[in-house]
Amino acid sequence: MENTGRGSEGNRYEHRPVLLNEAVDALVWRTDGFYIDGTFGRGGHSRAILARLAPGGRLLAFDKDPEACAAAQLITDARFEIVHGDCAALREQLNQRNAPRVSGVLLDLGLSSPQLDNPARGFSFSADGPLDMRMDPRQGESAAQWLARASQQEMTEVIRRYGEERFAGQIAKAITARRMQSDRYGPLARTRELAELVARAVKTRPLGRHPATRTFQAIRIYLNQELQTLSAALDAALEILEPGGRLVVMSFHSLEDRIVKRFMQTHARAPQPGAALRYLPLRAPAEPAPALKLGPRIRARDAERKANVRARSAVMRSAEKLG
């Protein structure tokens, strides 16, 4: 997740990576290692990693967004390579490169600022744009297409599960009612109309939070299968890390952080033997050992939180793979 400012023409959506130094400090432990940036965005973390690496180091980055991959072409460092695709495919991409183990994996979850701040992408309710919300606009179903066909029950379940929205039923009912008026008003296809519709359906909301925040989050996460991708990427990262390798993950809402926390905590505990083996006397070397050693949980400092509103919800967790 990155902050943005208005730059010169041709570079409208600048970025400010969150927890940049903290993430790179936790990730890079050997300068000649092979590292993964699973969410390139606009390359803030990738550039910082490359600055830490020796000539023998290597960085492989992933991003589903074709605009992010186009921006990655500006990095001419021979140690760097970008993959247009999902970070859940870590193992397959490494196998193609005959690199079965890596020194570190970084996952900076959520949206980049260019995605969020560009109305044409449809991720935000702060400016009017088409209801798209796809990380890769060339693949899959847009938000407008999904809202036009999903049942009221399906919309309720998605908004409640991925947005943790207690007014999910009322919102889905309002969308269904609006859909029945498509002959008169046309399809529900703009971000501003959806945000206004949700605002009328949501009765209360904490001060300072837009009523449509949770609904937009839910639809985006569902359409892009973000939580499924995260779980698959975590499993792959644990498998491909070499002993001593680092896993660093930054999340920006509770659903992501809950998955990361449970994953790391589960693998930081010694696995329990099966029922048949529980009472057998095992020698110490044969006893199951934990796979990860947990690092500290880090939040952005006050200065960064004040300078970058999107740093306020950031949580960074890290772990080291044990030998």
CATH code for the part of the protein at 2-114+226-273+287-321: 3.40.50.150
> What integer pLDDT is reported at residue 205 of this predicted model?
75
Q: Is the pTM of this model over 0.85?
A: yes
The helix (H) or strand (E) run that includes residue 68 is: helix 66-72
Burial class (CB in 10 A: 0-12, 13-18, 19+), 199: middle
CB-based contact 132:224 (threshold 8 Å): no
Phi, psi of 111 (to 5 degrees): -95, 150
Is 44 annotated among the ligand-binding residues? yes
pLDDT value at 281 more than 80 = no
Residue 110: pLDDT band with limits 50, 70, 90: confident
Residue 4 pLDDT level (bands cut at 50, 70, 90)? very low
At a CB cut-off of 8 Å and minimum separation 6, what does 74 contact? 43
Q: What is the pLDDT of residue 15?
A: 63
pLDDT over 60 at 283, yes or no: no
First to last CA, the chain: 32
Residue whose entry in the numeric block shows the structure tokens 């001593």: 244
Which pLDDT tens digit goes with each residue over 144-169?
A: 999 999 999 999 999 999 999 999 99
Q: Map tokens 């967790």 to a residue.
A: 317
- Geometric angle at alpha carbon 120, from 114 and 123, rounded to 5°: 65
Per residue, the 3-state secondary structure of 212-265, as one string, reads CHHHHHHHHHHHHCHHHHHHHHHHHHHHHEEEEEEEEEEECCHHHHHHHHHHHH
Q: Which residues pair with 8 in a beta bridge?
A: none
Q: Which residues pair with 320 in a beta bridge?
A: 246, 293
* 169 annotated ligand-binding residue: no
The reply to whether 63 sits in an annotated binding site is yes
Q: Token pair for residue 193?
A: 């109309």
Q: Does residue 104 have a known ligand-binding role?
A: no
> What CA–CA distance (Å, rounded) separates 91 from 290?
22
Average pLDDT on 257-278 reads 81
Kind of pairing between the strands at 2-3 and 16-17: antiparallel
Is 210 annotated for ligand binding? Answer: no
Consult the annotation and say whether 108 binds a ligand. yes
